[in-house]
Amino acid sequence: MALYTKSIQARPSKNDGIRICIMRRPDSWAVYDIWMPVLSPSHKLLDDAHSKVVDWNGYVKRFSKEVIRGKREHIKLLIDMAKKRKITILCWEKEPEHCHRRLVAEECKKIDPSLKVVLK
């Protein structure tokens, strides 16, 4: 199947498959099937990013250490799920360029190059 990414702000669609929220603090109105906060940045990293203590490059470096390397077994779980069913990982940013869902999706593709990954 495939792994898609999408902003949780976008309207849910039946084409999303299983919707997996990888946000630390989803709003109560957010629509998702599974919540995996373990794949989100720490509260400290979120606070540092929002207050501009870290720029995007610093964010990527810290997120890679915290999640990409630190939570590898959960990333592999996403890959396993995506091989069986269509899944969409969700987080806040409207565009994937400066968003941790892109970093997670790209890592999934690095681990399994045969996995179809679609960034939205």
pLDDT in tens, 57-116: 999 999 999 999 999 999 999 999 999 999 999 999 999 899 999 999 999 999 999 999
pTM for this entry: 0.94
pLDDT in tens, 27-70: 999 999 999 999 999 999 999 999 999 999 999 999 999 999 99
Query: Whose CA is closest to 86, among 110, 107, 115?
Result: 115
Question: What is the structure's pLDDT at 1?
Answer: 80
